[in-house]
Homo-oligomer: A and B are copies of this chain.
């Protein structure tokens, strides 16, 4: 059981394979979003904000899985580019609702087109049915790991 080590001992573990695959895919996502001068996380912020306008900074952080501290600088860049607006006075301890501008929505749609193309079954090396299966299984894994939402 604990004989010689072989590389294949890890190949049968779905979560380890998942992380390796994501590492690869994540790099490509980075390049894809860079064409729109966005980071993957920034794209996530835009998407969340389009679905639920008026989200606060911390709430947004929860949804894209980063810490609230990381949001400040990230959002600052988007605001400077006119893609987001801070609504309300803001300030040290006051919640700041964020909103998407028209430019922000337009950029989101443009980036989404690329993302959809990038996810086409052909680009994945899978059939449409297999891509659907993969997606469903991944959602199950997420649901198991995040009982809340």
- The answer to whether A13 and B116 touch across the interface, beta carbons within 8 angstroms, is yes
Q: Is the CB of A135 within 8 A of B21?
A: no
Chain A residues touching B, majority SS: helix
Which A102-149 residues sit within 8 Å CB-CB of chain B? 105, 108-109, 112, 115-116, 118-119, 123-126, 130-135, 137-146
CB distance from A137 to the nearest CB of B (A): 4
> CA A96 – CA B108 in complex, angstroms?
47
Find out whether the CB atom of B119 lies under 8 angstroms from the CB atom of A16. yes
Instruction: Given the known inter-chain contacts A9-B112, A19-B40, A141-B124, please indicate yes or no for A146 contacting B14, CB distance below 8 A.
Output: no
Copies per complex of this chain:
2
- A28 close to chain B: CB less than 8 A: yes
The answer to whether A14 and B125 touch across the interface, beta carbons within 8 angstroms, is: no
How far is it, in angstroms, between the C-alpha of A15 and the C-alpha of B48 when the chains are bound?
17
Asked whether A15 lies within 8 Å of B109 as measured between CB atoms, the reply is: no
Q: How far is the CB of A100 from chain B (nearest CB, A)?
A: 9
Tell me the nearest residue of chain B to A105, going by C-beta: B5
Instruction: Name 27 interchain pairs, CB-CB below 8 A, sorted by A.
Output: A5-B47, A5-B51, A6-B51, A7-B52, A10-B47, A10-B112, A11-B139, A14-B126, A14-B134, A14-B138, A15-B118, A15-B124, A17-B142, A18-B21, A19-B22, A19-B26, A22-B22, A22-B23, A24-B141, A123-B144, A125-B140, A125-B143, A125-B144, A126-B137, A130-B140, A133-B137, A134-B134
